[in-house]
Amino acid sequence: MITNQIGKPANRVDGRAKVTGEAKYAAEFSAPDLTYGFVVSSAIAKGRIKSIDASQALQLDGVLQVFTHENRPGYIWGDKNYQDKDSPPGSPFRPLYDNEVQFSMQPIALVVADTFELARYAASLVKVEYVTQEFDTDFEANIGKAYVPEQYKSNPPPEPWGNPDEALASAAVKIETEYAHPSEHHNPMEMHASTVVWGDGGKMTIYDKVQGVQNSQQYIAKAFALPMEEVHVISPFVGGAFGSGLRPQYQLFLAVLAARELKRSVRVVLTRQQMFSFGHRPKTVQRFALGASTDGKLEAVMHDAFAETSKFEDYSENVVIWPGVLYHCDNVKVSHKLVALDVYTPLDMRAPGGATGIYALECAMDELAYKVGMDPLEFRLKNYSERDQNEDKPFSSKELRECYRQGAEKFGWNKRSKEPRSMREGHNLIGWGMAHGAWEATQKPAAAKAVLSADGKLTVSCATADIGTGTYTVMTQIAADTLGMPLEDVTFKLGDSSLPMSPLEGGSWTVSSVGSAVKAVCDKVGEKLLKLAQQMPGSPLASVTFKDIIFADGQIKLKNNPAQGVAVTDIINQGGFEGIEEDVSNEPDKGQSNYGRYAHSAVFVEVKVDEDLGTVKVTRVVSAIAGGRIMNPKTAKSQILGGVVWGIGMAMEEETVMDNNLGRFMNHDLDKYHVPVNADVHDIDVIFVEENDDIVNPIGAKGLGEIGIVSVAPAIANAVFHATGKRVRDLPITLDKAM
Catalytic residue positions, numbered: 706
> Residue 338: what residue type?
L
Restricted to residues 221-240, the positions that interact with another protein (CB under 8 A) are 237-240
User: Which member of 524, 637, 702, 729 binds another protein (CB under 8 A)?
Assistant: 637
Query: 228 φ, ψ to 5°?
Result: -55, -40
Restricted to residues 480-509, the positions that interact with another protein (CB under 8 A) are none
Of the pair 114, 527, the CB lying nearest another protein is at: 114
The neighbour count for residue 198, using CB atoms within 10 Å, is 22
User: Which member of 1, 21, 415, 563 binds another protein (CB under 8 A)?
Assistant: 21
Q: How far apart are CA 47 and CA 68, in angstroms?
A: 16
> Among the candidate windows 109-117, 451-459, 503-511, 657-665, which touches another protein by CB under 8 A?
109-117
User: Which member of 45, 429, 529, 645 binds another protein (CB under 8 A)?
Assistant: 645
Is residue 28 a contact point for another protein (CB under 8 A)? yes
Of the pair 121, 384, the CB lying nearest another protein is at: 121
Is residue 242 a contact point for another protein (CB under 8 A)? yes
In angstroms, give the least distance from the CB of 402 to another protein: 24
Q: How many residues bind another protein (CB under 8 A)?
A: 76
Restricted to residues 460-479, the positions that interact with ligand FES (CB under 6 A) are 468
Give bridge partners of residue 435 from the DSSP assignment.
603
Is residue 16 a contact point for another protein (CB under 8 A)? yes
Q: How far apart are CA 205 and CA 225, in angstroms?
A: 16
Of the pair 454, 735, the CB lying nearest another protein is at: 735
In angstroms, give the least distance from the CB of 684 to another protein: 6
3-state helix, strand, coil in the chain (%, to 5): 30, 25, 45
Cβ atoms of 599 and 628 closer than 8 Å = yes
Of the pair 242, 665, the CB lying nearest another protein is at: 242
What is the DSSP code string of 25-42?
Answer: -GGG---TT-EEEEEEE-
Query: 652 φ, ψ to 5°?
Result: -110, -25
> Residue 577: what residue type?
F
Identify what 677 binds: ligand FES, another protein, none; CB under 5 to 8 Å per kind: another protein
Q: Which helix (H) or strand (E) holds 258?
A: helix 250-262
Identify what 427 binds: ligand FES, another protein, none; CB under 5 to 8 Å per kind: none
In angstroms, give the least distance from the CB of 483 to another protein: 25
Of the pair 370, 646, the CB lying nearest ligand FES is at: 646
Q: Where are the alpha helices (DSSP H) in 186-244?
A: 213-223
Is residue 680 a contact point for ligand FES (CB under 6 A)? no
Helix axes 354-372, 712-724, angle to 10 degrees: 30
Of the pair 236, 353, the CB lying nearest ligand FES is at: 236
Q: Can the peptide bond before residue 732 be classed as cis, meaning omega within 30 degrees of 0?
A: yes
In angstroms, give the least distance from the CB of 705 to another protein: 10
Q: How far apart are CA 306 and CA 146, in angstroms?
A: 7
Is residue 708 a contact point for ligand FES (CB under 6 A)? no
CA 276 to chain centre: 17
In angstroms, give the least distance from the CB of 699 to another protein: 21
Instruction: Calculate the dihedral angle through the C-alpha atoms of 33, 38, 39, 44, rounding to the nearest 10 degrees.
Output: -160
Give the residue from 484, 472, 634 showing the smallest Cα distance to 13. Answer: 472
| 182 CB-near residues (< 8 Å, 6+ apart) | 283, 654, 655, 656, 657, 730, 731, 732
Q: How far apart are CA 397 and CA 406, in angstroms?
A: 17
Is residue 69 a contact point for another protein (CB under 8 A)? no
Of the pair 120, 387, the CB lying nearest ligand FES is at: 120
Identify what 325 binds: ligand FES, another protein, none; CB under 5 to 8 Å per kind: none
Cβ atoms of 67 and 112 closer than 8 Å = yes
Q: How far apart are CA 547 and CA 66, in angstroms?
A: 64
Burial of 154-177, coded b for 16+ CB within 10 Å and e otherwise, reads eeebbeeebebeebbeebebbbeb
Is residue 666 a contact point for ligand FES (CB under 6 A)? no
Restricted to residues 229-248, the positions that interact with ligand FES (CB under 6 A) are 240
Cβ atoms of 240 and 347 closer than 8 Å = no
Of the pair 443, 464, the CB lying nearest ligand FES is at: 464
User: Which member of 73, 412, 562, 579 binds another protein (CB under 8 A)?
Assistant: 73
**By Cβ distance, which residue is nearest to ligand FES?**
189
Q: Which helix (H) or strand (E) holds 339?
A: strand 332-341
Is residue 25 a contact point for another protein (CB under 8 A)? yes
Is residue 56 a contact point for another protein (CB under 8 A)? yes
Give the residue from 726, 699, 737, 730 showing the smallest Cα distance to 713. Answer: 730
Of the pair 519, 668, the CB lying nearest another protein is at: 668
Q: What 3-state DSSP class applies to 281?
A: strand
Is residue 155 a contact point for another protein (CB under 8 A)? no
Identify what 52 binds: ligand FES, another protein, none; CB under 5 to 8 Å per kind: none
Pairing state between β 193-198 and 127-132: unpaired
Is residue 542 a contact point for ligand FES (CB under 6 A)? no
Distances (CA, A) of 245 to 12, 628, 732: 22, 26, 25
User: Which member of 131, 169, 189, 613 binds ligand FES (CB under 6 A)?
Assistant: 189
> Among the candidate windows 15-23, 327-335, 400-408, 727-735, which touches another protein by CB under 8 A?
15-23
Restricted to residues 170-189, the positions that interact with another protein (CB under 8 A) are 187-189
> Among the candidate windows 84-92, 290-298, 534-542, 635-643, which touches another protein by CB under 8 A?
635-643
Is residue 51 a contact point for another protein (CB under 8 A)? no
Is residue 614 a contact point for ligand FES (CB under 6 A)? no
Restricted to residues 270-309, the positions that interact with ligand FES (CB under 6 A) are none
On the CB side of 504, CA atoms within 13 Å amount to: 21
Restricted to residues 658-687, the positions that interact with another protein (CB under 8 A) are 669-671, 675-679, 681, 684
In angstroms, give the least distance from the CB of 530 to another protein: 36
Is residue 642 a contact point for another protein (CB under 8 A)? yes
Of the pair 241, 530, the CB lying nearest another protein is at: 241
E strand map for 31-164: 35-41, 47-53, 63-68, 100-101, 107-113, 127-132
Residues near ligand FES (CB under 6 A): 189, 240, 468
